[in-house]
Structure 1
Amino acid sequence: MDLSYILNELGEDRELYFNAVSPPIVQTSNFACKSVAKMREMLKNEPEVYFYTRGNNPTVTILEKKLAALEGAEHAIAFGSGIAAVSAAVLSQVKAGDHVVCIKKPYSWTNALMQKFLPRFGVEVTMVDGTDANNYKQALKPNTTLLYLESPNSMTFELQDIAAVVNIAKAHNCSTIIDNSFATPLFQNPLALGVDLVVHSCTKYIGGHSDAMGGVICGKRETINRIFEGEFMTLGAILSPHDAWLLLRGLRTLPVRMERIAATTQKVVAYLHQHPKVEQVYYPFLETNPQYELAKQQMRNNTGQFTILLRTNEIEKVDLFCDSLKHFLMAASWGGHESLIYPMAAAYNSANYKSSLPFNLIRFYIGLEDADYLIKDLEQALAKV
């Protein structure tokens, strides 16, 4: 299916809403029925009809159709946040007594789900270094039902060999879920490599404007319908029609934004990689990265996140560098028009620092600014360290 068709036409039946170029925000909680027979029919077929916005909504449906098509999926279901989508996807694949193998150092709230939440309900979780697919195999138990991936994973951006992990899962009758937020559907399509479910935080690149939150699960129609009837309808973590509309707006410019972000990031990374005050750059598409060939094999292009290890053992110098940046906002998340930093030092307390990551790690996200504009800012901040 052509990318331009997906982004601009798929799911948009404009004749149904006055031929408006932009789809309407169907801001309603209920959809009325003209007869008992009609209500009976709608209740029977709720996964496919509009009855109650906590289930389906026309504005949300347009977004779901586009996201499914971008991932090459049969169907998709949208949520109010990325972690809502992750949680529902995982819960749909496990029950008490099951075992999950998960990538080490995933997104922080995915980590909380795996390490704190699932064990409360009798689900055992083993965290593994996913840079070697064999670690997934070695962690398998007779009760393993799910292998969870996040490639690249958070903060240090190690990759998993997706096809290799899928082969292990299929050989042992396990399902697979991957968080594909980093790469976007434009640059990586895990379903094509055999993954069962793909999740995204739509808050990031898909929205692209730092003004809406959302998540999505993409997969086979049968699986998505089962999640709809179970975890989605029961837990109620729905995406609002207004946020769905904002995410649709973001999708229109996704290819242009990602092309710009990818090109700018390459230039900024090249500058930082050679800088004497930067000890290491964590970035999948750096040629010195031992996983560089795997990155090129699995992903069609780089995106805007990378992390640097500042060459200092003094937290005061990390603070000084970060505080000296004039054109990078200090904030969580990523994927919008603005460049950001997230310093691990912000979580550092000398008496109680619990993270396994060093305090001199700083995650960057590159937005839509000019590369030279950002590099000049980095240069003046690094000069102070």
Structure 2
Amino acid sequence: MTNKTTRTAQIGTFPVGRVEVPVLPAITATTVLFPDTASLAPIDPDSLRHSGRGPYENFYYGGVGTPTTEAFGQAVAALEGGSFAALAPSGQSALVATLSALLKQGDHVLIVDTVTYTTRWYIDQCLATAGVAVTYYPPDVSDLEPLLRPNTRVVFMESPGSMTFEVQDVAALCQTAARHGIVTVLDNTWAASRCFQPFAHGVDISVLSLTKYHAAPAGVSLGAVVTRTERLHALIKNQTALLGLHVSPDACARASLALATLDLRLNHQERTTRIVLEGFAGHPGIRALFHPSLPEAPGHAVWRRDFQGANSLVTIAFDGLDRPTVNTMVDRFRVVRIGYGWGGTLSLATIFEANEWRTVSRSAARGTCLRIYLGLEDPSDILADLRQALGRS
């Protein structure tokens, strides 16, 4: 079975004795009962870092993992093109577990300037104050050599970048890092385990907020750290356990149901995105549209070379409109709703100020901008709603 859509649709199958069930069950036990002392798993530090090759292997205490969480993690790893996945209660906690496991006082980390604002806040408020040296670099940098130090341990990427979707040359960055033995970490949430294969381009660790496309229709919060090597997986898995980042089997079971429809949802949303972008090309009052598929998008050539599609986030930069005016326009939405987040069934609008969190690069966007997440509604309804709201500035 090689087609990814087919594999995704059958992702929830789970072994029960000699048969399988098509829906991942939520096994919520904490205590595990063993038949005898010879079978009892020993208590030692190594017990926290192991993952089994099947859902029941290494099942000894529910606070570390259950067959439900193990099966779901293996499914996520397979979709992402990796071999192992350490789960966390959110994308942010997955990020924190990863960077805190890789970095210590005196180390140096390179962070792309276009990271999500919560990532930046963690780096500035926690890592930097803990004695980790932090350097932000522009998203269009492909040669990291001038920025490297003897104590550089991690290169962190987020591609496309937050809000205005600059695409990085991940392969080039990873080649440079690999020559120096530096670990590369990519926030690959945007690609939803479909649009970009991180490990095929040299990435060591892929961090995912499963709260977005993967599991948003189920309304659950989850994150994952996917690796190809058992060494890196053991390091991250141990850190998630020590930090108490336990994930709920119920959340994993619900997320598995959402995951089974991931490809179908993204197919529909890619079509909707094309319709909306075409419908707003040259629209009066719009300074620029931001989406990697547009020829003028930063890093578009890299996107065409390395990606297998795009998601349904679009940012609109207006021509000289202030915040109150944009607020009034957004308040006219009837199909598109107002709220934070993305990846679920509903289209969502989020207002932000261009370049608000950047320090070493500038987007072409200016002033108050609008990010639209295009959901599962009929594209004609979404487009009509956008036109009636934005057409009367």
- Residue 231 of structure 2 corresponds to residue 227 of structure 1: no
Shift of 1:270: 2.0
Asked if 1 retains the 8 angstrom alpha-carbon contact of 2:166 and 2:297, the reply is: no
3-state SS in 2 of match to 1:14: strand
Give the SS at the match of 1:185: coil
Deviations 1:113-172 (A, max 9, x none): 2111101211011111021212x3322111111000000010011011011000110122
257, 263, 266: which one aligns with 1:258: 266
Contact 1:281/1:306 (<8 A) preserved: yes
TM-score by length of 2: 0.90
1:110 is the counterpart of 2:111: no
Contact 1:279 1:310 in 2 (8 A): yes
Matches within 5 A, 1:142-153: 142-153=150-161
Q: How many residues align?
A: 377
Is 1:119 the counterpart of 2:128? The answer is yes
Query: What amino acid sits opposite 2:349 in the alignment?
Result: I
Q: Bigger CA drift: 75-84 or 39-48?
A: 39-48
Shift of 1:55: 1.2
Give 3-state SS (helix, strand or coil) of 1:158's partner: coil
Comparing 13-22 and 263-272, the one that deviates more: 13-22
- Residue 202 of structure 2 corresponds to residue 194 of structure 1: yes
Counterpart-to-counterpart distance in 2, 1:355 and 1:93: 24
Aligned position for 2:31: 30
Aligned: 1:96 with 2:101 = no
User: Is the CA contact 2:97–2:236 (under 8 Å) kept in the aligned structure 1?
Assistant: yes
CA shift for structure 1 position 359: 4.3
Distance 1:206 1:17 in 2: 29
User: Do 1:312 and 1:318's aligned partners in 2 also have CA atoms closer than 8 Å?
Assistant: no
Quick one: distance in 2 between partners of 1:317 and 1:10? 45
Q: Distance in 2 between matches of 1:291 and 1:355?
A: 20
Distance in 2 (CA, whole Å) between partners of 1:265 and 1:209 is: 19
Q: Offset of 1:8 from its aligned partner?
A: 4.7
Partner deviation per Cα, 1:174-209 (whole Å, 9 max, x = no partner): 110001110111110111111100011000110141
Counterpart amino acid of residue 172 in structure 1: H
Report if aligned partners of 1:198, 1:217 keep a CA contact under 8 Å in 2: yes
Distance 1:306 1:222 in 2: 38
Cross-structure match for 2:219: 211
Residue 361 of structure 2 corresponds to which residue in structure 1?
none
2-structure distance, mates of 1:8, 1:332: 28
Residue identity in the other structure for 2:157: L
The 8 Å contact of residues 169 and 302 in structure 2, kept in 1 or not, is answered as: yes
1:42-67 deviations in whole A, cap 9, x for unaligned? 76655241122221111111111111
Counterpart in the other structure of 1:236 = 244
CA distance in structure 2 between the partners assigned to 1:174 and 1:237 by the alignment: 26
> Which structure would you say has the larger RCO, counting Cα contacts within 8 Å and 6 or more residues apart?
2
Identical aligned pairs, as a percentage? 26
Distance 1:174 1:383 in 2: 49
Q: Is 146-155 or 167-176 further displaced after alignment?
A: 167-176
Indicate conservation of the 8 Å contact 1:6/1:66, yes or no: no
Give the aligned partner of residue 55 of structure 1: 64
Q: CA deviation at 1:289?
A: 2.0
The residue type equivalent to 1:190 in the other structure is P
CA distance in 1, matches of 2:370, 2:84: 37
Return the offset for 1:39. 2.1
1:320 and 2:321 aligned? no
Q: What letter is aligned with 1:148? A: F
Asked if residue 168 in structure 1 is aligned to residue 176 in structure 2, the reply is yes
After superposition, the Cα gap between the structure-2 partners of 1:254 and 1:76, relative to the gap in structure 1 and judged at 3 Å, is same
Native 8 Å contact 1:100 1:145 kept in 2 = yes
Distance 1:133 1:168 in 2: 9
- For residue 369 of structure 1, what is the amino acid of its counterpart? E
Give the secondary-structure state (helix, strand or coil) at the position aligned to 1:288.
coil
Report the CA distance between 1:298 and its aligned residue: 1.5
Equivalents in 2 of 1:4, 1:285: separation in Å? Answer: 22
In the alignment, which residue of structure 1 is the partner of 2:142? 133
5+ long unaligned stretches in structure 1: none
Q: CA deviation at 1:79?
A: 0.8
Counterpart Cα distance in 2 of 1:296 and 1:266: 15
CA displacement, residues 315-349 of structure 1 (integer Å, 9 cap, x when unaligned): 2211111111111111111000110011016xx9x
Residues in 2 aligned to 1:113 and 1:120: alpha-carbon distance in whole angstroms: 10
2:11 and 2:259 in contact (8 A); partners too: no
In terms of mean alpha carbon deviation, does 143-152 or 6-15 score higher?
Answer: 6-15
The 1:313–1:40 alpha-carbon spacing in structure 2 relative to 1, beyond 3 Å, is closer
CA distance in 2, matches of 1:157, 1:77: 27
Alignment of 1:73 onto 2:90: no
Shift in Å at residue 7 of structure 1? Answer: 2.7
Is 1:80–1:238's contact at 8 Å kept on the other side of the alignment?
yes
- Larger helix percent: 1
Q: State the SS of the aligned residue for 2:155.
A: strand
Contact 2:326/2:368, CA 8 A, preserved across alignment: yes
Q: Which amino acid counterpart does residue 23 of structure 1 have in structure 2?
A: L
By how many angstroms is 1:40 displaced?
A: 4.0
Q: SS at 2:371's partner residue? A: strand
Task: Return the match for 1:308 from 309, 312, 316.
Answer: 316
C-alpha separation in 2, matches of 1:41 and 1:11: 31
Q: Report deviation, 1:41.
A: 4.5
Question: Any idea what SS the aligned residue of 1:296 has?
Answer: helix
Letter in 1 for 2:232: T
Give the whole-Å Cα distance in 2 for the aligned partners of 1:15 and 1:177: 36
The TM-score normalised by the length of structure 1 is 0.92
